[in-house]
Structure 1
Amino acid sequence: MSNMLVQRPTTRASAPKPQSILIVGCGIAGPVLASLLLRSPGPASSLPHITILERNPSFISSGQNIDIRGIGKQIIRLLDLEDEIKRSTTGEEGVQFVDENNRCWAEFAVDKSGKVETGTSDVEILRGRLAQIFLDKAERLSKDVQDRGGKGVEFIFEDSLESLHQDEGKAHVQLANGGERSFDLVVGADGLHSRTRKLAFGNEAEGCLKKLHMFAAFLSMPKEDEDGEWRSWFHAPGGVSIMLRPSGTKEKSTVLILLADKSGIIADQLAGSERSIPAQKKLVMSKLNRIGWQEQRLTKAVEAADDFYFDVTAQVNLAKWYCASPFSGMGTTLALAGAYHLAGSLVNNPSSHSQAFEAYEEAMHPLVANAQKLPPAMPHLIHPQSTWGVWVLRILVAAIYWSGVGTLLFKWKGPPASVVKLKEYGLLDEKGE
């Protein structure tokens, strides 16, 4: 899940030297923003001096299955990364709704032409794999800029923001490891629980998370012969659903476990130990008890997983900043679009951050507004609490499949990835690497 926000001085006079920009977060949005800025027009000496700050000690190569849709595909194409990314996809063929006996009640195939946005995109990829591609691109571009006399990108790992404040000239940061730095611009791309957001907005940031009363666990496990190239989606009473998905390798499959928590019981159980992985694993394993589908295998996988990740699902709702949820199918596409429009707005408004941010908001608002609109009663509608509710869900899904209504719905209104067309900023066609 990506989060993009900015903190800058309220005024900024034209400066003869390149802007200094701090990007907090080395996931998807951060390296893409850096790459786009480094490919903006002008000589290398005029390009921004970018610092990417990452709290983890090294690049995180793990992560869940994510997809790229609509305008996100246009952006990776403009970055000359489309072929590399498509070679790295998981190869998922679509989604199958299965029961305890692994019987398929309905299936919805991917549209490999990319013209119809179904539940499975034609670009499905593991997050860590995609982030590595974007990081490699930023590093290559940085080296090229430095070879031509520019500053490029400085990468700082295992450090984080301790404080953030601004005056009329600069944004000033205190780093956790003791360093003090000043920048023309600070960009937060550090996710759902962004520390940058908290430092920038204070109390306002506390209430910006719209929790969807749902928890999600991600992990990988050894692949077995019966694990195919289709995503298997199993539902159990108690608001539990499990997706078993291909990883694009012969060695492992990936797992997403969703736990509905409309009553708040799970949140209460985790109170005080929300970030404790052993406590999280214990809770997830308790929910797998007696589900009747690959129970023993999944329980062992959760217990043994070294890439286990557990978090609440939520949306970020601030006046001008955003984060989608996994249920939108739009998180990665929003990250790419946000990086593209922010870079373009900054390049086209070099003497006024305020005008740049107004242009950025105008470009992004329609896409964000549509991405954060979830259907009524979602996601709890597809996570029944009772055995009867699970049976009704399967009947409805089967009816949608066999009637052909699902295909019509996908063609009529898939995920809103193309609501906003890419605005031309002149960022990417002046030079290559």
Structure 2
Amino acid sequence: MSTKVLISGASIAGPALAHWLGRYGFDVTVVELAPALRGGGQDVDFRGATHLTVLERMGVLDELRALGTGGSPITFVGPDGRRLLHLPAEFAGGDVEVPRGELARLLHRRSSDRAEYVFGDSITALEETPNGVRVAFRRGAEREFDLVIGADGLHSTVRRLAFGPEDRYVRHLGYYAATWQLPNDTGLAPGSVGLNVPGRLAAVGADHRDPTRAGAFFLFASPELVHDRHDPGQQKEFVRSAFDGLGWEVPRLLESLRAAPELYFDSISRADVPAWSTGRIGLLGDAACGATIGGMGTGTAVVAAYVLAGELARARGDHRTAFARYERLLRGYAQGCQKGGDRTGPFLAPRTAAGLRVRNALLNRRWVLDRMLALGKQVSSVELPDYEAESAVGR
């Protein structure tokens, strides 16, 4: 009888893991709180040999390249609309950049024939038994699985239930970010143009695939806010309050926020969990080692899904051995990638006018920009086992 695995979370890490576990013959269920796949969100990128190797082994690299945005240039302007700094597409685009929603749909499509997806439900309790994990759900009937994997993001329910309160593991880095979609009524080009004032960035750009649509990206410095993560009305009010009184295109963008059907809003934070597993329960992606923006979290999640599934297959379901190998192989790599998230907020929205001037002056010098572009290509890497080749030899 195949090993039954429950994955919490159907964003990126969860479907990537479901894809690999399904290929290895595991019995996979994915539970997701949202009623359907979540669209929208910022473009995500993959960079370096480690990311590209996994995408190629998944068989999705060519398809992702076809979906690629070509990178997202950003122009920073002042309150009068005057250009302060322009960063080219390759600055943040990596080797392959794709819309997050397109990636989510692709991974779901590649895994749904081998996994059961349950939307609109969530885990409420976990009880480890001698032979498995008994799981209670908010809506569905109680079920038992051999293993449970929390791939449910920075604010992981699985981590909270099995490892302890979120504040033990998640550290706020002093900024919040929000993104939403709006009509492109003003003929915006792809890429982003953003108003930059101390501690705040309000940017907007046309959708790469649909020129009638645009995406807004707001980022602001703030101490940790006490809020309901599932209350978009409250989150919209936080954004409006943080940007109230600014000129340029900000009033129009804030007006579009009122009607936005879907809002992504979260703190820029990082998760550091001392151990990525306890008993039959493991963590994957942002739940284990997240960095909200700038920490290459999407690429790390896809790599981690490949390794976790491969180690479970290699160990023939022996979770203790597999979890230990998975963490030993990836922890250093993941932490190296994660460091970039610490710098995202201060780089995009320095808190002082002096900080803005220094950043702009430095990056307006071509040699400095070229140096940063070169450094951006020097990403962490890890030598990955070829699990499917090993499996073929063993058969």
TM normalised by structure 1 equals 0.80
Q: Which amino acid aligns with 2:92?
A: G
The Cα offsets for residues 277-299 of structure 1, whole Å up to 9 and x where unpaired, read as 22221221232233232122212
1:29 aligned to which of 13, 18, 31: 13
- Please tell me whether residue 352 in structure 1 is matched to residue 322 in structure 2: no
Name 1:222's counterpart in structure 2. 183
> 1:173: how far off?
0.6
Distance 1:323 1:245, change over 3 A: farther
Q: Which amino acid aligns with 1:28?
A: I
Q: Which whole-Å CA distance do the structure 2 matches of 1:64 and 1:93 have between them?
A: 10
SS at match of 2:324: helix
2:34 aligned to which of 50, 56, 75: 56
Name 1:201's counterpart in structure 2. 163
> 1:241: how far off?
1.1
Name 2:120's counterpart in structure 1. 158
Q: Which whole-Å CA distance do the structure 2 matches of 1:272 and 1:39 have between them?
A: 40
Q: Is the 8 A contact 2:202 2:250 kept in 1?
A: no
Name 1:412's counterpart in structure 2. 375
SS at match of 1:379: helix
The Cα offsets for residues 333-378 of structure 1, whole Å up to 9 and x where unpaired, read as 0110110010111111115211111110122112211122248876
> 1:174: how far off?
1.1
Q: 5 Å matches for 1:284-363?
A: 284-321=239-276, 322-350=288-316, 352-363=318-329
Structure 1: stretches of 5+ with no match in the other structure: 1-16, 41-46, 112-117, 143-151
CA RMSD of aligned residues (A): 2.5
Q: Is the 8 A contact 1:215 1:259 kept in 2?
A: yes
Q: Is the 8 A contact 2:173 2:342 kept in 1?
A: no
- Please tell me whether residue 138 in structure 1 is matched to residue 111 in structure 2: yes
> 1:156: how far off?
1.4
Q: Which whole-Å CA distance do the structure 1 matches of 2:121 and 2:316 have between them?
A: 29
Could you say which structure has the greater relative contact order, defined with CA pairs below 8 angstroms and 6 or more residues apart? Answer: 1
Distance 1:427 1:251, change over 3 A: farther
Q: Which whole-Å CA distance do the structure 2 matches of 1:318 and 1:272 have between them?
A: 23
Q: Is the 8 A contact 1:54 1:156 kept in 2?
A: yes
- Please tell me whether residue 371 in structure 1 is matched to residue 337 in structure 2: yes
Distance 1:94 1:66, change over 3 A: same
Q: Is the 8 A contact 1:92 1:229 kept in 2?
A: no
Q: Is the 8 A contact 2:5 2:147 kept in 1?
A: yes
The Cα offsets for residues 196-232 of structure 1, whole Å up to 9 and x where unpaired, read as 11111124x4310011121111111112455222332
Name 1:236's counterpart in structure 2. 197
Q: Which amino acid aligns with 2:9?
A: G
Aligned residues: 379
Q: Which whole-Å CA distance do the structure 1 matches of 2:390 and 2:185 have between them?
A: 43
Q: Is the 8 A contact 2:121 2:140 kept in 1?
A: no
Structure 2: stretches of 5+ with no match in the other structure: 277-287
SS at match of 1:85: helix
Q: Is the 8 A contact 1:95 1:119 kept in 2?
A: no
- Please tell me whether residue 390 in structure 1 is matched to residue 347 in structure 2: no
Q: Report the identity percentage.
A: 28
Rg comparison, structure with higher value: 1
Name 1:124's counterpart in structure 2. 97
Q: Which amino acid aligns with 1:165?
A: E
Q: Is the 8 A contact 1:32 1:339 kept in 2?
A: yes
Q: Which whole-Å CA distance do the structure 1 matches of 2:109 and 2:258 have between them?
A: 33
Q: Which whole-Å CA distance do the structure 2 matches of 1:425 and 1:240 have between them?
A: 45
Q: Which whole-Å CA distance do the structure 2 matches of 1:133 and 1:26 have between them?
A: 12
Q: Which whole-Å CA distance do the structure 2 matches of 1:126 and 1:243 have between them?
A: 17
Q: Is the 8 A contact 1:329 1:415 kept in 2?
A: no
Q: Is the 8 A contact 2:273 2:289 kept in 1?
A: no
SS at match of 2:239: helix
Q: Is the 8 A contact 2:293 2:341 kept in 1?
A: no
Q: Which amino acid aligns with 2:86?
A: E
- Please tell me whether residue 255 in structure 1 is matched to residue 216 in structure 2: yes
The Cα offsets for residues 54-73 of structure 1, whole Å up to 9 and x where unpaired, read as 12222222322222222223
Q: Is the 8 A contact 1:52 1:154 kept in 2?
A: yes
- Please tell me whether residue 167 in structure 1 is matched to residue 129 in structure 2: yes
